[in-house]
Amino acid sequence: MKLKCTLLVMSATFLVACNDDTAQQKEFIDQVQASATPKIEPIPQMKAFESFPYSAGSLRSPFDAPKPEVIESRLVQVKNCLQPDQNRERDPLEKYPIDNLVMKGTIALSGATWALIRAADQGLFRVTEGEYMGLYHGEVVGIYDDHVELLELIPDGTGCWKERLTKVEIVESTQLTVSE
């Protein structure tokens, strides 16, 4: 304990012995300030603002609804091209992309032929000509031993649709013919 007190007293003594003489530093600062001449650059000249007349005042504002005649002209264009029937009832296989559908075989009964189609969720469906499958309104137009042909309607980006012939090919051959 005595050692700690002794060290504390000695530290205080050393600190008191330091003087507060900053005269040399103040003299140096005054000398530097007297010899320095401040350089202030002139304010840069601003370019004159060039105005131009607003010429889009006669055009339709993008925030206003289009005029009825503009909408009607677009509807006429869309009505005069190929469109899928939006009012028909959807078949179960129309919720699957064609990539997720696989033909597994065919069934023929009394002249009628069905294709067996396996969907992505492992469900097995039978389809015949005139039914639909795939995301693009693919109508079954032909059933063959090794594939099913679909006529799909693909949007062309202008509000119209184009026809495309697509095949769903067989993976494992299973053919069943039943005659009565």
All residues at 6 or more sequence positions from 179 whose CB lies less than 8 Å from its CB, including other chains: 109, 110
Cβ atoms 96, 135 nearer than 8 A: yes
Residue 168 belongs to a domain: yes
Q: What is the CATH number of the domain that holds 129?
A: 2.30.30.830
Helix (H) or strand (E) holding 63: none
Residue 137 belongs to a domain: yes
pTM: 0.53
Domain count of the chain? Answer: 1
Residue 163 belongs to a domain: yes
pLDDT tens-digit profile, the chain (180 residues):
777 777 777 776 666 555 566 788 888 888 888 777 777 888 888 888 888 888 887 887 778 776 665 555 555 555 678 888 888 898 888 888 888 888 888 888 888 889 998 887 778 889 999 999 988 889 999 999 889 999 998 888 777 889 999 988 887 655 555 544
Residue 119 belongs to a domain: yes
- Residue 130: which domain range? 92-178
Partners of residue 57 on adjacent β-strands: none
The count of residues in the chain is: 180
